[in-house]
Amino acid sequence: MSEALVTLTIDGIEVTVPKGTLIVDAAKQAGIDIPVFCYHPKLKPVGMCRMCLVEIGRPEWDRQKNAPVLDEAGNPVIQFGANLETACTTPVGDGWVVRVESGVAQAGHKQIIEYILTSHPLDCPICDKGGECPLQNLTMEHGPGRSRFLYDEKMHLAKHVPLGELIFLDRERCIQCGRCVRFQDEIVSQPVIGFTERGRALEIVTYSNPGFDSYFSGNTTDICPVGALTTADFRFGARPWELHSTASICSHCPVGCNVMLNTRREASSDGCEVIKRVMPRQNEWVNELWICDKGRFAHHFTHSPARVTKPMVRKRGKLVEASWDEALSQAAQALKASKNLVGIAGGRASNEDLYIFRSLIEKIGGRAVLDDSLAGGDVVQQVGMGSGSNLSQLGAGDAVLVVASDLHEEAPLWWLRLKQAGDRGAKLVVANGRPTTLDAHASHVLRYAYPQAAQTVLGLLHAFTKQKALASYVKDRDVQAAGRTLAEAENLVVFYGGEGLTYSDGEALALACGALLQATGRAGQANNGLIAVWPRHNTQGAWDMGLRPEAKGLAPILKKADALCIMAADPLGDHPGLVDALQDDTFLVIQELFLTQTAQRADVVLPAASIVEREGSYTSAERRVQRTYTTLPARGETLSDWRILMLLGGKMGYEFEAGSVAEIFTEIGSVVPAYAEVSYADLAKYEEQWPEVGDEDLYFGGTAFKNHQGLGVQLPPAAERGNASEIAWKAPEPRQPKDGLLLVPIVELYDRGATVVPSEVLHPRLVAAQLRIHPGDAERIGVVNGGRVELRVNGRVEEIDARVDRDVVEGTLLLPRSLDVVVPHAAYVKVKPLRKRE
């Protein structure tokens, strides 16, 4: 069915657009920029700032003849309204004549600018927005040269108001456009800021504690048309025109948000070029115009002084700096002599690194594994998202299932986009063992006792297949209702994580989800598919490169290993007790950014380049392959992981044909069928996107960056290519609850991981080192809020502070990951309060 179209003339240019298009957007398509402040293409129009005033002429209508009034020449008589009208709130009409550049309209723009500037402070010399400021630009374009307002009579308001620790507000600069408030209200549904007072005293306040408590607060500084909202990270940091821009991908989670890294070479950093800020890069398929605050602020790890920048070898029991030659030779010798080499890689490495890693380890005769505990990357390869998928398209009639994952903490941009899908009418079914932030937007909330995630999904599968074997999983009415909802949906996307699950629980879950998608009959189509909420940003890439985790964990293979080659992983740090599995004389060579626990045990430490100091390709969990560009020069003597591996291989006599990332990528394509149709050049392809951002456009869409560096390529799953195998679900092993409380490790966005802690600006928000306990359990055991407890887990004894929390499900304990106390999987534990020290 074709859309109704409307044709109108704007400043003499004829434009044809779908019915319902706003004049301000229609004008863009004619290449006309109607000035705006409060309007933003992703927000509902409000017509507040009155900047977009235009003359609108409508064809006169003869009511008696029910026909347009025509002049002598037979043309419709156009009647212009008595007043200017706002282009941002008015949808187009057939035959209309709109005048943007007429004297009357221009006088209107000039007057509005004069009004806005009356109490606006003359801060340009010290205001961060200078140089990328819509108010500056529109003043130059439309404003009067002088103001008639007496500056001494201006309104004075507070100028350095912290809205929490991350965002600062200058109330004098604010032009009350409401974009920030509306973003938080409409797009995020976390209205933690708002207007108070009225008239000229109207000002922004924050209602939350901590202030501006939202993971998306940084985006308001992009869409603020003046320098009222600035980030604590970047303010007074640099002038926009001093900054160099390089395209990259955020490395904090598997969404793969597109970013632009703004860098500057400066004296205060000893002449080094440093990242001054992370900005969103527009990719309407992945992150639209937004990034979360972790992606925006946690960039300091790349230039942390703790970075390993020179190779190190162990001499007389201590790690000392050495030359590349010495370090590589030592490592090569040990690896060549090994009889039982195990290679362990992590999901932070690029596809090229992982491919060369596996290639080298296998050449040597060793076994390459992925250090991870979530299964299912192979299932995703079968029934992942179909080509052309875009979460922005989900709406009424569609359904999304989120199971065993707290998206708000693990992948904020997906939380945001799914919440918006729900606003548009999509049904969200959220299943977890505890309440999570997406519950408030779900049409169905399913609560199960850990670890029965797979059982819940099998219950949902019953709604499709009605298999008798599944009947035992459908006793719950809520599951039945949710199953019906999913079965009625036109499209289904399934997100699964590993909260509270062992590896084999996760396997069962992934298979159940895969079977569910196949049961819809639409696996492989656009806006249908399976997405794993991986802990790392390139875990899917690792699976695609042929690496997978050890189902039984690393201990068994470490016991037998006589040499370990580790890249982008910290197994000894992530798995307490694993160090005991190692034999004393196991040789360990590691490529790392920091001296992690594993690195501290290593015999050879090879300094790796971070994501910003090299290029590479990364596969998001939606299976979109995206590339980064080299932003900063190498630190010290660091090298890209793949190059280190090639040098290591070279020392052992192994030659590699490829000599660059692009060449490796081509080779990957010859070995991994899914990558065969993508060339490295394809990753840099882009198309014009809507809405327009940046550039000549006077920041219509905000200061997010245009994306001319590549939108990435979605890999079609096997189901789309017609060669998916049938996914057989397997009955999950029933587990008897044991004595004690079930401790469930959970993810919090602002964790204390190595890539977050170097960002001091985030320190007030980092997750507290506390074990969370239900009030009933606390009372029973005698634990007080804030009191210290002893925790007996997996044969170890740990000490930690406790926090009594009503959101904890009785019988469970929640332990955020990345604290000093590490519990990799859900486990039954014993907790008792420690006596206070005298």
Partner 1 sequence: MPEHILLRHRDVPDIDQLDVYRKHGGFDSLKAVVTGKTPQEVIDIVKAAGLRGRGGAGFPTGVKWGFLSPNVFPRYVVANADESEPGTYKDREIMERNPFQFLEGVAICCYAAQAETAYVYCRGEFWDLAHDLEQKIDEMHKAGLLGERIFGTKFNLSIYVHLGAGAYICGEETALLESLEGKLGQPRLRPPFPAAEGLYAKPTVVNNVETLTNLPPILAHGVDWYRSIGTEKSPGPKIFCLSGHVEKPGNYELPLGTTFRELIYEHGGGVAGGRALKAILPAGASAPLLPATDEVLDTPMDYESVPKVGSQLGSASVIVMDETVDIAWLSQKTTNFFKHESCGKCTPCREGTFWLNNILRRINQGRAKAEDIDLLEAVAKGMTGKCLCALGEFSVMPVLSGLDLFRSDFEDHIGDGR
Following CA atoms 195, 200, 201, 205 in sequence, which dihedral angle do they give, to the nearest 10 degrees? Answer: 30
What one-character DSSP code corresponds to residue 281? B
Cis check: omega of the bond before 210, within 30 degrees of 0: yes
- Which listed range, 170-178, 304-312, 405-413, 477-485, lies at the site for partner 1 (CB under 8 A)? 170-178
Comparison of 175 and 827: residue with beta carbon closer to partner 1: 175
Of 122, 201, 320, 469, the residue at the interface with partner 1 (CB under 8 A) is 201
Site string for partner 1, 12-31 (x = CB under 8 A): --------------------
User: Should residue 424 be labelled a site residue for partner 1 when binding is judged by CB under 8 A?
Assistant: no
Please report how close the Cβ of residue 111 comes to partner 1 at its closest, in angstroms. 4
Q: What is the distance between the alpha carbons of residues 257 and 347, in angstroms, rounded to a whole number?
A: 16
SS3 330: helix
User: How far is 778 from 636, CA to CA, in rounded Å?
Assistant: 51
195 belongs to the binding site for partner 1 (CB under 8 A): yes
Q: Which of 75, 83, 323, 723 binds partner 1 (CB under 8 A)?
A: 83
Nearer to partner 1, 36 or 749 (CB): 36
H or E segment to which residue 645 belongs:
helix 641-651
Question: How many CB atoms are located within 10 Å of the residue 736 CB?
Answer: 4
What are the tokens at 607?
């300094």
- d(CA 251, CA 642) in angstroms, rounded, equals 18
**Residue with smaller CB distance to partner 1, 120 or 614:** 120
Stretch that binds partner 1, among 109-117, 227-235, 353-361, 730-738 (CB under 8 A): 109-117
CB of 107 to partner 1, least distance (A): 9
Least Å distance, CB 148 to partner 1, is: 6
Contact range with partner 1 by CB under 8 A, out of 173-181, 265-273, 705-713, 787-795? 173-181
Report the residue from 21, 136, 139, 176 that binds partner 1 according to the rule CB under 8 A: 176
Task: Out of 63, 65, 146, 148, name the contact with partner 1 by CB under 8 A.
Answer: 148
Q: What are phi and psi of 551, to 5 degrees?
A: -55, -35
**Whole-number CA gyration radius for the chain:** 29
DSSP 89-142: T-B--TT-EEESSSHHHHHHHHHHHHHHHSS----GGG-TTTTS-HHHHHHHHH
536 is a contact residue toward partner 1 (CB under 8 A): no
The distance of closest approach from Cβ of residue 204 to partner 1 in the complex, given in angstroms and rounded to an integer, is 12
Peptide bond into 451 cis (omega under 30): yes
From the list 174-182, 355-363, 441-449, 793-801, the region that binds partner 1 by CB under 8 A is 174-182
- Region near partner 1 per CB under 8 A, out of 42-50, 127-135, 159-167, 577-585: 42-50
Q: Is 108 in the site for partner 1 (CB under 8 A)?
A: yes
467 binds partner 1 (CB under 8 A): no
Residue 63 as a binder of partner 1 (CB under 8 A): the answer is no
User: Would you count residue 116 as binding partner 1 (CB under 8 A)?
Assistant: yes
Q: Which stretch binds partner 1 (CB under 8 A): 191-199, 499-507, 663-671, 770-778?
A: 191-199
Under the phi-then-psi rule, with left for phi > 0, alpha for psi from -120 to 50, and beta for the rest, what region is 162? beta
Q: Name the segment binding partner 1 (CB under 8 A); options: 78-86, 354-362, 719-727, 825-833.
A: 78-86
Question: From residue 431, how far is each of 401, 437, 445, 595 by CA, in Å?
Answer: 8, 12, 6, 38
The tokens of 253 are what? 């989670």
Cβ closest to partner 1, residue 133 vs residue 487: 133
Identified binder of partner 1 from the candidate list 175, 319, 516, 645, rule CB under 8 A: 175
**Least distance in angstroms from the C-beta of 213 to partner 1:** 20
Q: Which stretch binds partner 1 (CB under 8 A): 41-49, 165-173, 245-253, 274-282?
A: 41-49
- Indicate whether 198 belongs to the interface with partner 1 (CB under 8 A): yes
We find the least distance from the C-beta atom of residue 28 to partner 1, in angstroms, to be 21
User: Which one of 111, 245, 329, 679 is in contact with partner 1 (CB under 8 A)?
Assistant: 111
199 binds partner 1 (CB under 8 A): yes
Residue 728 one-letter amino acid: A
Tell me how far apart the alpha carbons of residues 11 and 99 are, in angstroms, rounded to a whole number: 5
**Whose CA is closest to 421, among 447, 452, 443?**
443
d(CA 408, CA 180): 20
Instruction: Please give the Cα distance from 652 to 329 (Å, whole number).
Output: 8
Tell me: does residue 115 bind partner 1 (CB under 8 A). Answer: yes
Specify whether the CB–CB gap between 23 and 98 falls below 8 A: yes
Nearest C-alpha neighbor of 450 from the set 777, 732, 747? 732
Note whether 153 binds partner 1 by CB under 8 A: yes
For partner 1, the closer CB: 116 or 493: 116
Nearest C-alpha neighbor of 222 from the set 404, 18, 40: 40
Candidates 715, 724, 673; CA nearest to 517 is 724
| Cβ at position 51, least distance to partner 1 in Å | 7
For 595, the token pair is 């001296």
Residue 490 in the binding site for partner 1 (CB under 8 A): no
Q: Nearest approach, Cβ of 47 to partner 1 (angstroms)?
A: 5
Place of tokens 């703790």: 306
Contact range with partner 1 by CB under 8 A, out of 82-90, 128-136, 565-573, 781-789: 82-90
> Residue for token digits 């591996």?
645
Q: Which is nearer to partner 1, 174 or 349 (CB)?
A: 174
Neighbours of 323 (CB within 10 A): 12
Nearer to partner 1, 141 or 580 (CB): 141
Question: Segment near partner 1 (CB under 8 A), from 22-30, 80-88, 253-261, 304-312?
Answer: 80-88
Task: Candidates 202, 555, 595, 834: give the one binding partner 1 (CB under 8 A).
Answer: 202
Our CB check for partner 1 shows the closer of 155 and 557 to be: 155
Residue ranges in 603-632 that form contacts with partner 1 under rule CB under 8 A: none
Near partner 1 by CB under 8 A, which window of 193-201, 308-316, 484-492, 791-799? 193-201
Q: Is 155 in the site for partner 1 (CB under 8 A)?
A: yes
Tell me, what DSSP letter sits at residue 603?
S
Crossing angle of helices 453-465 and 477-488, in 10° steps, is 50
For residue 22, give the H/E element and its range: none
**CA-CA distances (angstroms) from residue 112 to 48, 88, 215, 432, 823?**
11, 15, 34, 52, 60
The interface region with partner 1, picked from 61-69, 107-115, 218-226, 627-635 by CB under 8 A, is 107-115
- The angle at the Cα of 439, spanning 435 to 442, to the nearest 5 degrees, equals 150
Alpha helices in 538-640 (DSSP H): 539-544, 555-560, 571-574, 578-581, 597-601
Cis peptide before 691 (omega within 30 of 0): yes
Q: Does 50 bind partner 1 (CB under 8 A)?
A: yes
Taking the least distance from each CB to partner 1, the nearer of 93 and 435 is 93
Least separation, in Å, of the C-beta of 94 and partner 1?
18
| Residues 375 and 382: beta-carbon distance below 8 Å | no
CB 478 within 8 A of CB 486: no
Please report, as residue ranges, which positions from 426 to 455 form the binding site for partner 1 (by CB under 8 A): none
Residues in the chain: 838
**157 makes contact with partner 1 (CB under 8 A):** no
Q: Which residue has 């899917």 as its token pair?
A: 540
Give the nearer residue to partner 1 in terms of CB position, either 119 or 263: 119
Binding residues for partner 1, total number by CB under 8 A: 36
- For partner 1, give the closer residue by CB, 53 or 609: 53
Q: Does 87 bind partner 1 (CB under 8 A)?
A: no
Contacts with partner 1 by CB under 8 A lie at: 45-51, 53, 82-84, 89, 108, 111-112, 114-116, 118-119, 148-150, 153, 155, 175-176, 178, 194-195, 197-202
